[in-house]
Amino acid sequence: MTPLAPAQHPWSQRRPAAPLLILLPALVLLPLAAVLPAVVHGGGWELIGQFAFAAITPSGDPVLLASALRGLGVTVAVALLGWAVSLALGLVGGVLSSRTVWRTMAGRVWPAGALRRLLAIPRSIHELLWGLLLLQLVGLQPAVAVLAIAIPYAALVARVVSDLLDALPTAPLEALRAAGAAAPAALLTALGPALLPGVFSYGGYRLECALRSATLLGVFGLGGLGTELRLTLQSLQFHELWTCLWLLLAVMLLLEGLVRLLRRRWGMPGRFGLAAGAVGSRGRELLLATLALLPVLLLLALALGVNPAALLVVQALPPFHPDWPAVLALPWGAMVASTLLLTLLAAALAVGVAPLLLLLVAPWPWGRLLLQGLWALGRLWPPPLTALLLLFVLKPGLITAALALAFHNLGVLGRLLLEAADAAGGGAEAALRCAGCGPRLALFYGRFSGLSRSYLAYGAYRADVILRETVVVGLVGAAGLGTLLLEALSSFAVDQLLALVAVYAALTLLGEDLSDRVRHRLLAA
């Protein structure tokens, strides 16, 4: 290969190389460090100390334990049911919005695109908002939390399934069709098995998300352990709080371990990518597990008291006296701006701090374990509760809200980064270590180089999730649309509520588009 002419060298420009990119989001720490002293009031360090101490002295009160276990049961049941329903609906929706399927079945693709756009709307609204809206619509019943998770998740799963379907090679399908197979049979045979590993892997991830969502819904009064967490935090009963928290942590780690194991056992494609997916051998096992899950789900639904018929009874809505001029007069610009600022700040913090922390602890053998623990707590602990805890020492406002969101998402991102780092193999890093390079620099050059683009691409996706999540830290005040939304809900201001949901949906759709573009650019480079 002949060298390119200098003008064409992509590397000759002053452009940050891969490992440097991964650290760029962490630059947000500099302005944050400058602002933070003004935000700290330090009034409640004593409370923080009590909170931390309570972690090692959780309450063992049997009454509390019983109620915490019940709450945990509700949370897990809601998560499992919501997840299962979303997976089923999402598979159907995904097939229906796949271009390949429409092309094969009907010879046209536009319905796929139309359905895809339609599905973007339920996806753009956070599950908490769905929960609070459904609560108004059908009343407080267990199915509300299940549905609140199922609706946006189903739309998410549908998008992923259709993307996966449309990315599969069509050669086998065409061969079957040419051989005279009927369209549905050909689709099922050619695409079904190839689709499964991706769906399974993503489904496992969604289950972990569902547990976090179910906890969060509880924080806002939709039942389960989240409710206990919030009540014990608000009445400053930290020992009781930690009892609930440890229980939840145990369940979360168990679930994550199970998903990881099953993913590796069944859906797991070979080392790098989908190519080596060998579902055939495990197909029977997967089928059996699915069949075994069905009665468990039914039992859970029964135990939880989910009554689908009750969902159809939409009863009296709050009286609706719209005052649109007043709605228009709200400070939309400022609210949208602070929502976006909150998103960017939280996303940059979460994305930037995870690799930084990994670098920091690289030389210490126990550092990794410490980080894993910290990240597990971040994932587990719903952001509104982090926000409440932060208020003990920080002033309310955007920064506090951003820190709370960032901590939660750091937990998610950090775990993925670590998993990806492990999966990527450490050849280059080991080579650098053998050449006398220090552990941090070796990790930085050797491993982060390969990870940085895909990690940042995931970060872009995460920013999109964070934008949706800003609604949950509305409690902290001055945090944009979320704050007004909670206020509108408690005032039964339906007009404001509708406007806010519409603005949120529009924002998240725009954000999704933007993060898609960023992601494509990162992955294409």
The answer to whether 133 contacts other proteins (rule: CB under 8 A) is no
Interface with other proteins includes 356 (CB under 8 A)? Answer: no
Residue from the set 475, 481, 499, 507 that interacts with other proteins by CB under 8 A: 475
Q: Is 449 in the site for other proteins (CB under 8 A)?
A: yes
What sections of 127-180 are H helices per DSSP?
127-138, 142-167, 171-178
Output the 3-class SS for 378-437: HHHCCHHHHHHHHCCCECCCHHHHHHHHHHHHHHHHHHHHHHHHHHCCCHHHHHHHHCCC
Q: Which stretch binds other proteins (CB under 8 A): 100-108, 174-182, 367-375, 445-453?
A: 445-453
> Distance from CA of residue 379 to its chain's centroid?
10
Determine which residue in the list 26, 72, 119, 380 makes contact with other proteins, applying CB under 8 A: 72
Find the binding residues for other proteins in span 379-418 (CB under 8 A): 391-393, 395-397, 416
SS3 for 40? strand
**Residue 113 in contact with other proteins, rule: CB under 8 A:** no
Which residues, other chains included, contact 11 with Cβ-Cβ below 8 Å and sequence gap of 6+? Answer: 17
With CB under 8 A, what is the number of residues at the site for other proteins?
147
Q: Kindly tell me which residue out of 86, 98, 104, 141 binds other proteins, with binding defined by CB under 8 A.
A: 141
- Shortest Å, Cβ 57 to other proteins: 19
Interface positions, 177-196, toward other proteins (CB under 8 A): none
167 forms part of the interface with other proteins (CB under 8 A): yes
Stretch that binds other proteins, among 16-24, 99-107, 403-411, 500-508 (CB under 8 A): 16-24
- Measured from the CB atom, the residue of 43 and 185 that comes closer to other proteins is 43
| Footprint (CB under 8 A) of other proteins, residues 36-65 | 41-44, 46-47
Backbone angles phi, psi at 40, to 5 degrees: -75, 130
Residue 436 interacts with other proteins (CB under 8 A)? yes
Question: Residue 501 is inside which H or E element, if any?
Answer: helix 494-524
Of 169, 184, 363, 373, the one binding other proteins (CB under 8 A) is 363
Asked if 18 interacts with other proteins (CB under 8 A), we say: yes
Q: Return all residues near 502 (Cβ < 8 A) that are at least 6 apart.
A: none
446 binds other proteins (CB under 8 A): yes
Binding mask 253-272 for other proteins (x = CB under 8 A): xxx-xx-xxxxx---xx-xx
What is the sign, positive or negative, of the torsion defined by CA atoms of 147, 383, 385, 75? positive
Kindly tell me which residue out of 26, 76, 244, 351 binds other proteins, with binding defined by CB under 8 A: 76
Length of the chain: 525
Rounded to whole angstroms, the Cα distance separating 123 from 513 reads: 13
CA angle 462, 19, 444 (to 5 degrees): 105
Give the three-class secondary structure for 93.
Answer: helix
Q: Which residues of 42-68 are buried (b: 16+ CB within 10 A; e: fewer)?
A: eebeeeeeebeebeeebbeeeebbebb
For other proteins, which is the closer residue by CB, 181 or 477? 477
Contacting residue, 58, 223, 378, 382, with other proteins by CB under 8 A: 223
Stretch that binds other proteins, among 12-20, 341-349, 366-374, 501-509 (CB under 8 A): 12-20
Least Å distance, CB 180 to other proteins, is 29
Minimal distance in Å, beta carbon 186 to other proteins?
21
- Could you write out the DSSP letters of every residue in 336-372? HHHHHHHHHHHHHHHHHHHHHHHHHHTT-TTHHHHHH
Question: Do 277 and 269 meet the contact criterion of CB atoms below 8 Å apart?
Answer: yes
- For the bound state, the minimum distance from the C-beta of residue 441 to other proteins, rounded and expressed in Å, comes to 5
